[in-house]
Structure 1
Amino acid sequence: MDNMKVAYENMLGLAAEMVLDEALRKYRTEKLYEDIDDALARHDPEQFRLLTDELKTILS
């Protein structure tokens, strides 16, 4: 029975980690879109390039 409990706890931990990772990825993606919009509004091509490169990495 202890093996089942350990396996269950491991699965719960993995599921929690996956949920957290997805939430962080979603937050960072939304923030990048906002920052990209700001870079465009400021006519800052270097910042725009850096942010879009990061966004491409996250989305790939």
Structure 2
Amino acid sequence: MEKMSMIYDALLSLHAEMVLDQALREFRLRQLYEAIDEALQYGDEATFLKLTDDLRALQNQ
């Protein structure tokens, strides 16, 4: 029975890690989109290009 408990705990831990990773990824995506919009608004081409590269890299992960 203790083995089942250990497996269950490991699965819960893995699930929690996956949920956290997804939340962090979505947060970073929102940050990038907002920063890209701001760079466009101010005409900051260098920042826009860097941020879009970052966005592509995150989307390709």
- Relative to the length of structure 2, the TM-score reads 0.94
Aligned to 2:43, the other structure's residue is in SS state coil
What is the identity, as a one-letter code, of the residue corresponding to 1:52? T
Aligned to 2:21, the other structure's residue is in SS state helix
Q: CA deviation at 1:42?
A: 0.9
Q: Which runs of 4+ in 1 moved over 3 A?
A: none
Counterpart check, 1:28 vs 2:28: yes
- Where structure 2 has 5 or more consecutive residues not aligned to the other structure, the ranges are none
Q: CA deviation at 1:2?
A: 1.1
Whole-Å separation in 2 of the counterparts to 1:50 and 1:5: 47
- Where structure 1 has 5 or more consecutive residues not aligned to the other structure, the ranges are none
Superimposed CA distance per residue, residues 1-34 of structure 1 (whole angstroms, 9 cap, x where no aligned partner): 1111111000000000000000010011011000
Counterpart check, 1:2 vs 2:9: no
Q: What is the Cα-based RMSD across aligned positions, in Å?
A: 0.6
Residue correspondence of structure 1 range 1-60 to structure 2 within 5 A? 1-60=1-60
Aligned residue pairs total: 60
- Relative to the length of structure 1, the TM-score reads 0.95
Aligned to 1:58, the other structure's residue is in SS state helix
Whole-Å separation in 2 of the counterparts to 1:50 and 1:7: 43
What percent identity do the matched residue pairs reach? 47
